Amino acid sequence: MTQAPGVHIKGSAGFVAVSLFRNLDVTVGAGEWTCLLGVSGVGKSTILRLIAGLETGAVFDGSIETSDGASLDGRVAYMAQQDLLLPWATVLENVCLGARLRGERVDHARAKALIEDVGLTAHVAKKPHALSGGQRQRAALARTLMEGGQVILLDEPFSALDARTRADMQELAFRLLGGRTVLLVTHDPAEAARLGHRIVIMTEAGVATVAPPALAPPRPLDDAGYLAAQAALLQRLRVPA
């Protein structure tokens, strides 16, 4: 795989009468996990959708640049809170969806290997309704990996999972997405403190970069630096500076 690019987004966005964010300046480091932390409704997902090239409904005045200068088209993969699996297709068909839509020859061996990586080999022929929430997100992760996109946009993909499954999924995703540029949008300070190489906090007061804990992510759940960072982040969310 070629080197994953960094992404730099700056500018302002808003609706006709309401400003969503102003003077944003966020750098998503190449090959790193950047966590964008904020409460609901602050415009986090809009940033992600802007990078993904999706309709946002807001007017964006600014620029999105990559560190290698090339366009992001076709290099982005996306995972959301909803698993976004086609309910009528099997796990394998869902994982192969992107290749099928591009009219490429589907590499079934690779798809099956990725499904094995996420631990769903026994469920390869099942439809999404037969899987648990955690399994569905793992299938979505396998599909994201299958895409081979170098910039991965994660929109609260773990927020609907129970605590144990979430911790497992965070580690699995971190391991499997290693080397790619990841932008994780989350409202959970613990998630940002655990996974971010960079942590960007977004509040009504504006956007600020926060120093991450000293240990490299994913940080152990009992790490003092991680716990302190989590508390500090929550504090900043509650009382914007």
Partner 1 sequence: MTIADQAPVAPVVDEEEAARARKDRIHRVAKWTLPSLVMVLSVLAWHLYVTLNEVPHYILPGPLVVAQSIFDDWGLLWPAMLTTTRLTVLALIFAIIGGVALAVAFTQSKWAEMSFFPYAVILQVTPVIAIAPLLQIYMDSAFGAALACAWIVAFFPILSNTTIGLKSADHNLEDLFTIYGASRWQRLRYLAAPSALPFFLGGLKIAGGLALIGAVVAEFVIGRAGTGLGLASTLLEASYRFNFGRLYAALILISGMGVVIFAITSLISHLALRKWHESAMMRER
152 binds partner 1 (CB under 8 A): no
Reference 99, options 87, 111, 89; nearest CA is 111
125 binds partner 1 (CB under 8 A): no
Q: Which stretch binds partner 1 (CB under 8 A): 46-54, 62-70, 172-180, 221-229?
A: 46-54
Residue 181 near residue 146 (C-beta atoms within 8 A): no
Q: Which stretch binds partner 1 (CB under 8 A): 13-21, 121-129, 188-196, 230-238?
A: 121-129
Reference 3, options 26, 28, 30, 29; nearest CA is 30
Residue 161 near residue 133 (C-beta atoms within 8 A): yes
- C-alpha 88/C-alpha 90 separation (Å) is 7
Among 78, 118, 146, 212, binds partner 1 (CB under 8 A): 78
CB under 8 Å to 55, separation ≥6 — which residues? 49
104 binds partner 1 (CB under 8 A): no
Q: Which stretch binds partner 1 (CB under 8 A): 126-134, 207-215, 217-225, 227-235?
A: 126-134
Beta-bridged to residue 31, according to DSSP, are none
Q: Which is nearer to partner 1, 53 or 179 (CB)?
A: 53
Name the minimum Å distance from CB 108 to partner 1. Answer: 18
159 binds partner 1 (CB under 8 A): no
Q: Which is nearer to partner 1, 84 or 142 (CB)?
A: 84
- C-alpha 226/C-alpha 185 separation (Å) is 18
**Residue 120 corresponds to which tokens in the numbers above?**
């769903």
Q: Which is nearer to partner 1, 105 or 129 (CB)?
A: 129
CA 155, distance to chain mean position in Å, is 5
Please report how the helices 133-147 and 108-117 are oriented relative to each other, as an axis angle in degrees rounded to 10. 140
Q: Which is nearer to partner 1, 22 or 100 (CB)?
A: 100
8 binds partner 1 (CB under 8 A): no
Residue ranges binding partner 1 (CB under 8 A): 49, 52-55, 73-74, 76-78, 80, 82, 84, 86-88, 97-98, 100-102, 123, 126-132, 134-135
